[in-house]
Amino acid sequence: MPADQRPALWLDRISRRFGSRAVLEDISLAVPSGRITCLLGESGCGKSTLLRLIAGVDRPDGGTIDLGGTRIVGPDRFTEPELRRIGFIFQDYALFPHLSVADNLAFGLQGLDRRERRSRVAEIADRIGITHLLNRYPHSLSGGEQQRTALARALAPRPEVLLMDEPFSNLDQGLRERVRRETLEILRQFGTTAVLVTHDPQEALAVADLIVLMRNGRIEQTGSPFDIYDRPASSYAAEFMGPCNRLAGIWTRGSIETPIGRFAAGLDLPNGSAALVCIRPQALSIAPDGSGISARILSKTFTGESEQIEISVHPLFQPLRMHSHERIRMAVGDKVGLHLNGAQIHVFAEPVPLEQLSSLGGEIIHGEILTETVS
């Protein structure tokens, strides 16, 4: 493969076990150079373990890892962490409290002489905008200043890859968004290849060039944010990015029949097969009673930028949820007409509980990611 097309990192069939429990199974992944890759998933799915294997603070039980085309992990090779040219930002930043910011930045530059260390520290501090902090100590820094210092320390040795383990989770919501935006600007300015671990699907959508959705030690789906959200490969992926209305249905002549309508899908199933529909709340809208599917408003919650509305539709077991950015004049208890606008409807050939299938019932699922749009 030409050097300009070679991934920065290549993981091939990586596995890791802790006792009898398989934490990672058959993980293969190409991390693109100069891009931000997010390892996304719920707690315990193996994403932080995978990050430690890349960093070299843990060893896999099987598989290989190549960095820039050079094998660093394999059956007969293990490159020590300090020789991998991989930077790491920990969740709590792990700044040395007894060292000044300048000395924290210089810590990973021991291979340079004193003049070169000073020059590198001054350069990285200037580019990240923390020159005014160089003589201060970590305890006197704000959360955002600590994060920028940790970023500068990780980038000072000019690593080939930067690993970040939940780097914004310790910040308050408002500060988190600002620091995240500033960090992204810096990483893109440097052209850094970064691998970021997060459990937050909205964060992954906001920052990643490539999302790797993990589930129970395996990769569920890999793709761009648009791929993951618009073309989910499974109902798990669809539900992980946000709330979905989940409906049971019967496959008949190229479409799935549900209590609220028939939906076409690019599936190949025998007639009469059970299938599953996931409908985003934004795919639903309501109008005055007399049009669409007969329904009733159960609750309305105003969140500022939108209203969240729960709607009862016979014969569904659970209410449907919709989001509206327009003011809904109908009140709780009013009969309304339910419409589908065709957006974010996903059909999957997956098993459906019998109690749902018996009456084509449905339920609301709250989750976190997506895969394949069917309209």
Is the same domain home to 348 and 214? no
Flag whether 25 is in a domain.
yes
End of a domain among 199, 230, 261? 230
End of a domain among 230, 264, 294? 230
* Number of structural domains in the chain: 2
pLDDT, position 26? 96
Flag whether 373 is in a domain.
no
How far is it, in rounded angstroms, from Cα 331 to Cα 339? 17
Is the same domain home to 226 and 241? no
Q: Return the structure tokens found at 135.
A: 């003589």
End of a domain among 230, 249, 272? 230
Mean pLDDT of 323-331: 86
Q: With helix as H, strand as E and coil as C, how does the chain read?
A: CCHHHCCCEEEEEEEEEECCEEEEEEEEEEECCCCEEEEECCCCCCHHHHHHHHHCCCCCCEEEEEECCEEEEECCEECCHHHCCEEEECCCCCCCCCCCHHHHHHHHHCCCCHHHHHHHHHHHHHHHCCHHHCCCCHHHCCHHHHHHHHHHHHHCCCCCEEEEECCCCCCCHHHHHHHHHHHHHHHHHHCCCEEEEECCHHHHHHHCCEEEEEECCEEEEEECHHHHHHCECCHHHHHHCCCEEEEEEEEECCEEEECCEEEECCCCCCCCCEEEEEECHHHEEEEECCCCEEEEEEEEEECCCCEEEEEECCCCCCCEEEEECCCCCCCCCCEEEEEECCCCEEEECCCCCHHHHHHCCEEEECCCCCECCCC
Domain that holds residue 69: 3-230
Is the same domain home to 177 and 268? no
* Segment 187-223, tens digit of pLDDT: 999 999 999 999 999 999 999 999 999 999 999 999 9
User: pTM to 2 decimals?
Assistant: 0.87
Is the same domain home to 244 and 279? yes
Is the same domain home to 259 and 210? no
Flag whether 114 is in a domain.
yes
pLDDT, position 10? 97
Burial state string for 237-251 with b = 16 or more CB within 10 A and e = fewer than 16: bbbbbbbbbbbbbbb
CATH of the domain at 89: 3.40.50.300
Is the same domain home to 192 and 290? no
Is the same domain home to 164 and 261? no
Flag whether 374 is in a domain.
no
Flag whether 270 is in a domain.
yes
Is the same domain home to 79 and 214? yes
Average pLDDT of the chain to the nearest whole number: 88
Confidence of residue 174 (pLDDT cuts 50, 70, 90): confident
Confidence of residue 310 (pLDDT cuts 50, 70, 90): very high
CA dihedral 116, 120, 126, 131 (to 10 degrees): -70
The answer to whether the bond into 315 is cis (omega within 30° of 0) is yes
Flag whether 219 is in a domain.
yes
The yes-or-no verdict on residue 139 having pLDDT over 60 is: yes
